[in-house]
Amino acid sequence: MHLKSQYDLIIYDVGPSLGALNRSILIGSDYFLAPMGCDIFSLIGIQNIADWIAQWRGDYDQAYARVISNHEATLQEYAGEVRASSSLMSRFVGYTVQQYITKTIRDQKRATAAYEAILKKIPNEIATSLKPFMAPRLAVEEVRLGDVPHMFSLVPLAQTAHTPIHKLTGREGLSGGQYQQQEQYRRFIGELTASLMRNLRRTVEIRV
């Protein structure tokens, strides 16, 4: 709360787990988005997140009702800091999907059946598991923020050079087709940011 006057938007990037730290960040955030990999573990992860949020919301609302009943005067001292309803926290605003490497046969890209089968399940799993936690005024078809392009060798190059992907140059070893991959990455980040801000604007007033 003490940083609220200094920032319009704070983003936490956490790993794909429901450990104690990640759970604390999740329930302490107003909104969350889910990066999806093209694998069965991402589908299971979405189910686990949905189950945990549902359980936590129930526990929170019951606890809040007990506090109101027994300590309403004390609770007033924390007005503006304690949310009256769990529905005001941890609201779902979107997801991304990691692209996979396609096979090239006779100069034509071919889909991989195993990946495609999982990709087809993702929208339905999102709608089934996370729709109850979606931010208000958002439709299910609007929460897919974009498909993350495969960066091939750009990620290890950026890690080795300690440089963000969009700032890599020939001095860090960028060469050949990597320039085109870098430009694709820039476009994706721009589109992802625009989609995320669109969804946030529909649910809360943000100064940009």
Locate the domains of the chain by residue range: 1-148, 150-208
The region of weakest confidence among 1-5, 44-48, 174-178 is 1-5
Mean pLDDT score, 115-123: 86
Alpha-carbon distance of 185 to 13, in angstroms, equals 18
**% of the chain with per-residue pLDDT over 70:** 91
Q: Six-digit token pair at 38?
A: 């093209």
Alpha-carbon distance of 70 to 47, in angstroms, equals 35
Nearest alpha-carbon partner for 172 in 181, 182, 180, 162: 162
Alpha-carbon distance of 153 to 71, in angstroms, equals 58
Residue for token pair 């926290």: 89
The region of weakest confidence among 2-11, 24-33, 49-58, 100-109 is 100-109
Q: How confident is the model at residue 106 (pLDDT cuts 50, 70, 90)?
A: low
Mean pLDDT score, 90-106: 79
Q: How confident is the model at residue 190 (pLDDT cuts 50, 70, 90)?
A: very high
- Residue 207 clears pLDDT 60, i.e. is over it: no
pTM given for the model: 0.83
Mean pLDDT score, 187-191: 92
Mean pLDDT score, 107-133: 82
Q: Six-digit token pair at 89?
A: 């926290």
User: Is 39 strand, coil or helix?
Assistant: coil
Alpha-carbon distance of 89 to 170, in angstroms, equals 44
